[in-house]
Structure 1
Amino acid sequence: MTIVDVPGSKSITARALFLAAAAEGTTTLVRPLLSDDTEGFAEGLLALGYRVERRPDRWLVQGSPTGPAAREARVYCRDGATTARFLPALAAAGRGDFRFDASAQMRRRPVAPLTRALRGLGVEVRHLEAEGHHPLGITADGIEGGELTLDAGESSQYLTALLMLGPLTRQGLRITVTRLVSAPYVEITLAMMRAFGVEVERRDSPEGEVFDVPPGGYRATTYAIEPDASTASYFFAAAALMGHEVTVAGLGRGALQGDLRFVEVLERMGARVRVTDEATTVAGTGTLDGLTVNMRDVSDTMPTLAALAPFASGPVRIEDVANTRVKECDRLEACAENLRRMGVPVRTGPDWIEIDPAAPGPAEIATHGDHRMVMSFAVASLRTPGVTFDDPGCVRKTFPGFHEAFAALREQWQGLAARR
């Protein structure tokens, strides 16, 4: 059995940084993810006037329930979607003039549902170049609160940003959501808000799901970041592919992240899965079955399955993943492009991809600057010598040490094979 040390969750670290900044007092974040995205988020908080002390295994954040201390700030969000969508909402709760910009990659990604919602709450938001995209200008004077309707069918991050903003408004928020994708990420948000002292009420209505967020702010706490389930998916997939066993500690039955459900997909394909209170283990059986699977709620693991799919005994069809087209790149088409480069038959539609069994050949993977393209096709490289990447370093976004960790796993398994 191989025990893999997976770094902290990007999604949880970003939410924890927002909540810590919004809380009264000093919050300690234990084992946060150290990556380009989370460092960018922390730098954004510093630019807004928050105090963030970064130690090797914990970060200390001095919060303020009245919004940023700065009255004027320029924030560069790098490639981080959570940074680019959460920090403008946090700034809107304060008072001052704030500018937000991002990388060319992030500038292409939409923020319109969030900025429309903020405008509906009376916040002065300006798109400084392309409407619906970064860069943004925000003139803030606090937020009264009230009711709004949100379409979160493109990204759940818009809903998360507004939910976390709610306790910082004077009256609270009532959010009616007409469409929602990646619902497990909203469950993460609600559970973490609860840990920081805020309980959100939710109910169904004819118009959609309603979230009632009370005013009153957050309280500081000590919060431990669990390992990243999306990152764990590459190691679980590797075990299923190579007939080995991998355990990730810290991801068990109580884990917040819905992406841990990826192991259920592997189990349907024939892998053995064991989930305890403390850990999850996946063991390959030497065979992988084809399947049809809806991955709407775990779409960040769609590329992992796509890269694994050619090694199955039958076709693999992944459905309801239209939202993957507006991630760091069009992930659905990027997966298809790279599989075709490897000689794998692939078909795609607006929200689906179907992959036939094949013997993939060597190819240079076009990463499109997307960390998930690299980490997913690293799994395929275990059975396909000669796979290279045009930008292997883009893994720094979420897992700077990925290549070293994956190489160590490969070497360990090669050593086991040599001794047999």
Structure 2
Amino acid sequence: MPAVDIPGSKSVTARALFLAAAADGVTTLRRPLRSDDTEGFAEGLTRLGYRVGRTPDAWQIDGRPQGPAVTEADVYCRDGATTARFLPTLAAAGRGTYRFDASPQMRRRPLLPLTRALRDLGVDLRHEEAEGHHPLTVRASGVEGGEVVLDAGQSSQYLTALLLLGPLTRKGLRIRVTDLVSAPYVEITIAMMRAFGVEVRREGTVYVVPPGGYRATTYDIEPDASTASYFFAAAAVTPGAEVTVRGLGTGALQGDLAFVDVLRRMGAEVSVDATGTRVRGTGELRGLTTTMRDISDTMPTLAAIAPFASGPVRIEDVGNTRVKECDRLEACAENLRRLGVEVATGPDWIEIRPGAHPVTPTEITSYGDHRMVMSFAVTGLRVPGISFDDPGCVRKTFPGFHEAFGELRGQLPGWPTTSRPYPPSRRKRA
């Protein structure tokens, strides 16, 4: 029974880096995720004047409740949405002029609901080119606080950024939310703020954040539940296979662990306890209709195994996936069609109809999105010969994915230990 060690959560690592930078004292983050996104976040903190010390198993951050140590900085956020949304918010609490830019991919992703809310709070923030997109400049003089209205229907990260800012304001914040997607990610934020000494109160659709700052701590980063979905799915599509992810169990913060409930509904055996989560493939994979609004990062994982279900798989309420690293709804649909699978899509749904045609190998187009590659790697367990145009884009969240998945593949029933993950002539290096 393979036991898989999944790298630390990207979402938890990014929030922990913000909290550590804002806290009074030195914080130690144990087992943080080391990937392009999180290294970019740490690099951004360094550009803002925060001290970030790294060892193989931990990062130490000297917090500055008063904000960045420098009065001018130019920060490149790479492809990281958390970096691009959280760091300008952190900088707004300081005093100085801070410019932020990002990759072409991240420049396309929206920021306007967050930057509009920051402006409503008195932050001098200007978009240099397209309104609501990077690059932007923050001329910071601290944030007074008060009440603000926010639409978080595109991304819960907008709300998380404001929640994290709240204790750094002079009066605290009352955030009235008109719409919210991926609500479990907000619960991660609130739980982590509690660990750093701040209690958020909720009054209906209003989140009340007190002033007073954060206190430094030592914080353990749990394994990434979104990344774990690929390994759980691998078990579900392989009869007799079992996969256990250690350290991701009943006490987990991340809502994406609920993906295993979808696998259970489809016929997999699932057990969750305090030590971890186990999924076993039974040889049965039923079709279903499911809402994935709160766990939309795992939508591509489900789409990638849907061709092997006994009936249609319909995934609803995932319109926000159209504004991720790529339009994930259409990216999944296009790749599935190239595999010979019948697919229909709508504004916020995708329906995969297996069985009409045989699933045939093809080169998967990644669109620069790490989740396309990792999801369709699972498809490759049942369709030998699948390859990828850019397998290296997994470095965004899991640089060692191909090696880890290849190791798992060699332990699954029916796979030789020497099997290669992709045809070598088609695999490109990052």
Identity fraction in percent: 76
- Aligned letter for 1:214? P
- Normalised to the residue count of structure 1, the TM-score between the two structures is 0.98
CA distances 1:183-220 after superposition (whole Å, capped 9, x unpaired): 0000000000000000000011xxxx000000000000
The equivalent residue for 2:177 is 177
Give the drift of 1:95. 0.2
* Contact in 1 for aligned 2:409/2:415 (Cα 8 Å): no
In the TM superposition, 1:25-36 aligns within 5 A as: 25-36=25-36
Partners of 2:294 and 2:50 in 1: how far apart? 33
Computed over aligned residues only, the root mean square deviation of the Cα atoms, in angstroms, reads 0.9
Partners of 2:56 and 2:14 in 1: how far apart? 17
- Aligned letter for 1:368? Y
Select 2:223's aligned residue among 214, 224, 227.
227
Give the drift of 1:93. 0.2
Partners of 1:384 and 1:135 in 2: how far apart? 42
In the TM superposition, 1:344-383 aligns within 5 A as: 344-358=341-355, 359-383=358-382
The equivalent residue for 2:248 is 251
Structure 2 spans left out of the alignment, 5+ residues: 418-430
Give the drift of 1:402. 0.2
2:250 is paired with a residue of what secondary structure?
coil
Partners of 1:199 and 1:413 in 2: how far apart? 45
Give the drift of 1:45. 0.1
- Aligned letter for 1:217? G
* Contact in 1 for aligned 2:173/2:209 (Cα 8 Å): yes
Partners of 1:289 and 1:70 in 2: how far apart? 56
CA distances 1:88-147 after superposition (whole Å, capped 9, x unpaired): 000000000000000000000000011101100111100011111000011000010000
* Contact in 1 for aligned 2:361/2:385 (Cα 8 Å): yes
CA distances 1:350-397 after superposition (whole Å, capped 9, x unpaired): 000000113311111110000000000000000101111111000000
Partners of 1:102 and 1:317 in 2: how far apart? 34
Give the drift of 1:278. 1.2
Partners of 1:276 and 1:119 in 2: how far apart? 45
The equivalent residue for 1:118 is 118
Partners of 1:75 and 1:234 in 2: how far apart? 32
The equivalent residue for 1:63 is 63
1:337 aligns with 2:334: yes
- Aligned letter for 1:364? E
The equivalent residue for 1:411 is 410
Select 2:314's aligned residue among 314, 317, 324.
317
In the TM superposition, 1:285-296 aligns within 5 A as: 285-296=282-293
Structure 1 spans left out of the alignment, 5+ residues: none
Partners of 1:414 and 1:237 in 2: how far apart? 14
* Contact in 1 for aligned 2:94/2:142 (Cα 8 Å): yes
Partners of 1:403 and 1:306 in 2: how far apart? 20
Mean Cα displacement is larger for which, 321-330 or 356-365? Answer: 356-365
In the TM superposition, 1:187-226 aligns within 5 A as: 187-204=187-204, 209-226=205-222
2:91 is paired with a residue of what secondary structure?
helix
- Aligned letter for 1:212? V
The equivalent residue for 1:298 is 295
- Aligned letter for 1:132? G
- Aligned letter for 1:38? T
Partners of 2:350 and 2:123 in 1: how far apart? 40
The equivalent residue for 2:423 is none
Give the drift of 1:413. 2.0
The equivalent residue for 1:273 is 270
The equivalent residue for 2:105 is 105
